[in-house]
Chain A
Amino acid sequence: MIEVDSLVKRYAGVTAVDGISFKVDKGEIIGFLGKNGAGKSTTMKILSSFFPPTSGSARVAGFDCVTESMEVRRRVGYMPERVPIYEDMRVEEYLRYRAKLKGVAWRGRERAVNEAILAAGLKEVRRKLVGSLSKGYRQRAGLADAIVHKPELLILDEPTAGLDPGQIRQVRDLIKQLGTQTTLLLSTHILSEVELTASRILLIHRGRLVASGSPGSLVGGSRSNRRFLIEIRGGGVLAEAMFRGMPGVLKVDWIQGEEWQGYRLETGYETDPRVDLAHFAHDNGWDLRELREERETLEDLFVRITKTDEAGPQVTVTPEPAAPAAEPPAAPAGDPA
């Protein structure tokens, strides 16, 4: 559905998108993540044919976003970040106008408008002026506009920004439901939302793609170091030294407490020292209170990868089909941060 190849977009002086390549299949729900200014909106604007890239190419449903932009525009439902809507129109009037503009045939138009209104939960405000809507309803009006012509690809730029928790849940449910009918590309800063809705995450940093994969594989199966926490009574310095000497352990942090001592161990991604740790504790007569793996959350991953000032090595979990598979992703030797 989407094919992006070495996309570059430069604004006067700023390189917003710096050689991004990826592919999206039909029916996928893609969560587009990245810090403020990472280049998410810019990529989305290129995909919706607002402006062309400086170099590289983008195709939607097989059509080029620059040379066949009319075909692309007919197939894309786009909701920009600021949700700009003619404020002087009433909700249903606006949607009717947009449906016409997007070529919804006269016969099915009224139904399409009604369906969009129902789907976006705009029933009670359908006769209100867009300019008088609250932020949440305005957002929904933008969403209704994006779906009114039943696009093959939905591009939503931060659809839940500024909504209250209840509305976020409603919009999230709507997005999940839409995701069963169309391909979806949505950007957001709410990571829990992405974990719940997206089938795949694209993380971009400074205009480059730095991670890609399903939420589960990104945080669980990531080939980065693992962290374990053990809390024991007794042991002290001796325990720390012993942990340090265990095979595969790269780093030990001693979290000193009054009675209970905590140790955070970092190992390579294929080491699991938990059984050995339990034995150690038992054999040395230390009381064991807690022993667990500290899993990296999506948030940890996000912060870790986007912390660096330069775009770090690409952490591709599921192999990216669009990128030429030159070298397999190497296991990071140490902590990349």
Chain B
Amino acid sequence: MNFFVQARREFTAFFYSPMAYIIATFYLLFTGFTFWILLKNEANANAMRSLLSFLGFIHVIFIPMVTMRLLAEERKSGTLEMLVTAPISDVEIALAKFFGALSFTVLMMAPTLLYTWAVHKVGGHPDHGLTGASYTGLLLISAAYVSIGLFISSLTANQIVAAILTFVVLFTFYFLLGFVAGSAAALPFNEKVDWPAVVNYVHFGSRLQAFGKGIVDTRDVVYFLSVVALGLFLTVKSLESRRWR
């Protein structure tokens, strides 16, 4: 299956570039430092919960850097021509790039599980159910981020532009929409549409909250998976667009 061949290439490509090591290092420093501060304030499982809700935002900063090169680099260097003239479908390419980047993200996240152990050490009782739910949420929201980042990376040959644009979009969905929902009065009044509810529905931050409480709500899962599917669909369309340009 060509999907596996390409997915493997995408995953290993991260380890060829110094950029990935730099990103991963900063990620660990950043989360480790945050966790250390949190642990000093409340030496119990609460530190873990606070950290996880914080990670959702950290990923808004780090995932654009992971996804920026996925297709922008191929476009710039021309390797996209080699890839799409090989017998691999556009869907396989999109999926391979998505899973390659998601695998790297998961690997980057993995060491944060050590913090659970740290909580244990300082005498707190880590809540494994809560941790499990939180990581499920984190994985889902990261998948959504990667999918959006992949699509944006397919639109440009400039990695920096891709990273910034992805950051802006993720920031909007994670943060700004929450702000908008909070000031619901500012929204145009309409009897038929409950704007605050609509905004809350698509707001990544609100969607993540339940996971942080240890609840894995099917609606939230479906929501994030839909975002993933939409991002992949748009990526495939963008790859196909060479056909009418």
A, B from the same assembly: yes
- Report yes or no: B9 in contact with A97, Cβ–Cβ below 8 A: yes
A interface SS class: loop
B interface SS class: helix
Highest count of chain A CB atoms <10 Å: which of B17, B84, B89: B84
- Report yes or no: A100 in contact with B5, Cβ–Cβ below 8 A: yes
For B16, the chain A residues whose CB sits under 8 A away are: 88-89
- Report yes or no: B81 in contact with A84, Cβ–Cβ below 8 A: yes
Report if A103 contacts B (CB, 8 A): yes
Q: Report B26-85 residues with CB < 8 Å from chain A CB.
A: 77-82, 84-85
Report if B242 contacts A (CB, 8 A): yes
- Report yes or no: A87 in contact with B77, Cβ–Cβ below 8 A: yes
**From A73, A86, A102, A103, contact of B79 by CB (8 A):** A86
For A70, the chain B residues whose CB sits under 8 A away are: 87, 89
Size class of the contact patch on chain B: 20 to 34
Q: Report A79-138 residues with CB < 8 Å from chain B CB.
A: 80, 82, 84-89, 97-98, 100-103
Bound together, the chains give a CA A102 to CA B5 distance in angstroms of: 10
- Report yes or no: B81 in contact with A50, Cβ–Cβ below 8 A: yes
Give min CB distance, B240 to chain A, whole Å.
10
Report if B197 contacts A (CB, 8 A): no
- Report yes or no: B85 in contact with A50, Cβ–Cβ below 8 A: yes
Report if A51 contacts B (CB, 8 A): yes
Q: Report B1-18 residues with CB < 8 Å from chain A CB.
A: 2, 5-6, 9, 13, 16-17
- Report yes or no: A84 in contact with B86, Cβ–Cβ below 8 A: no
Residue of B nearest to A155 (CB): B85
Residue of A nearest to B77 (CB): A84
- Report yes or no: B78 in contact with A82, Cβ–Cβ below 8 A: yes
Report if A78 contacts B (CB, 8 A): yes
- Report yes or no: A101 in contact with B78, Cβ–Cβ below 8 A: no
- Report yes or no: A101 in contact with B5, Cβ–Cβ below 8 A: yes
Bound together, the chains give a CA A128 to CA B79 distance in angstroms of: 19
Report if A76 contacts B (CB, 8 A): yes
For B243, the chain A residues whose CB sits under 8 A away are: 51-52
- Report yes or no: B86 in contact with A98, Cβ–Cβ below 8 A: yes
- If A86-B13, A101-B6, A102-B86 touch, whether A50 touches B242 (CB-CB below 8 Å) is yes
A28-67 contact mask (Cβ, 8 Å, vs B): 1 or 0: 0000000000000000010011111000000000000000
- If A86-B13, A88-B13, A88-B16 touch, whether A101 touches B81 (CB-CB below 8 Å) is no
- Report yes or no: B85 in contact with A48, Cβ–Cβ below 8 A: yes
Report if B88 contacts A (CB, 8 A): yes
B183-208 contact mask (Cβ, 8 Å, vs A): 1 or 0: 00000000000000000000000000
Bound together, the chains give a CA A86 to CA B13 distance in angstroms of: 9
**From B9, B17, B82, B86, contact of A80 by CB (8 A):** B82
For B13, the chain A residues whose CB sits under 8 A away are: 86, 88
B212-236 contact mask (Cβ, 8 Å, vs A): 1 or 0: 0000000000000000000000000
B147-158 contact mask (Cβ, 8 Å, vs A): 1 or 0: 000000000000
Highest count of chain A CB atoms <10 Å: which of B6, B13, B16, B85: B85
- Report yes or no: B87 in contact with A84, Cβ–Cβ below 8 A: no
Bound together, the chains give a CA A103 to CA B88 distance in angstroms of: 10
Bound together, the chains give a CA A49 to CA B87 distance in angstroms of: 10
For B89, the chain A residues whose CB sits under 8 A away are: 70
**From B2, B82, B88, B242, contact of A84 by CB (8 A):** B82
For B242, the chain A residues whose CB sits under 8 A away are: 50-51
Bound together, the chains give a CA A74 to CA B87 distance in angstroms of: 6
Report if A145 contacts B (CB, 8 A): yes
Bound together, the chains give a CA A48 to CA B9 distance in angstroms of: 23
For A49, the chain B residues whose CB sits under 8 A away are: 85
For A84, the chain B residues whose CB sits under 8 A away are: 77-82
Give min CB distance, A56 to chain B, whole Å.
15
The interface of chain B, by Cβ under 8 A from chain A, is 2, 5-6, 9, 13, 16-17, 77-82, 84-89, 242-243, 245
Contacts A/B (CB < 8 Å), 29 sampled: A11-B245, A12-B245, A48-B85, A50-B84, A50-B85, A50-B242, A51-B242, A51-B243, A70-B87, A73-B87, A76-B85, A78-B85, A80-B78, A80-B81, A82-B81, A84-B79, A84-B82, A85-B79, A86-B9, A87-B77, A88-B17, A89-B16, A98-B82, A98-B86, A101-B86, A101-B87, A102-B87, A103-B2, A145-B82
Q: A73-B85, A78-B82, A82-B81 are in contact. List 9 more A-B contacts (CB 8 A).
A: A50-B242, A51-B242, A97-B5, A97-B9, A100-B5, A101-B87, A101-B88, A103-B2, A103-B87
Q: List 10 A-B pairs, minimum CB-CB distance, nearest first.
A: A84-B78, A88-B16, A84-B79, A73-B87, A100-B5, A48-B85, A74-B87, A82-B78, A101-B86, A80-B81
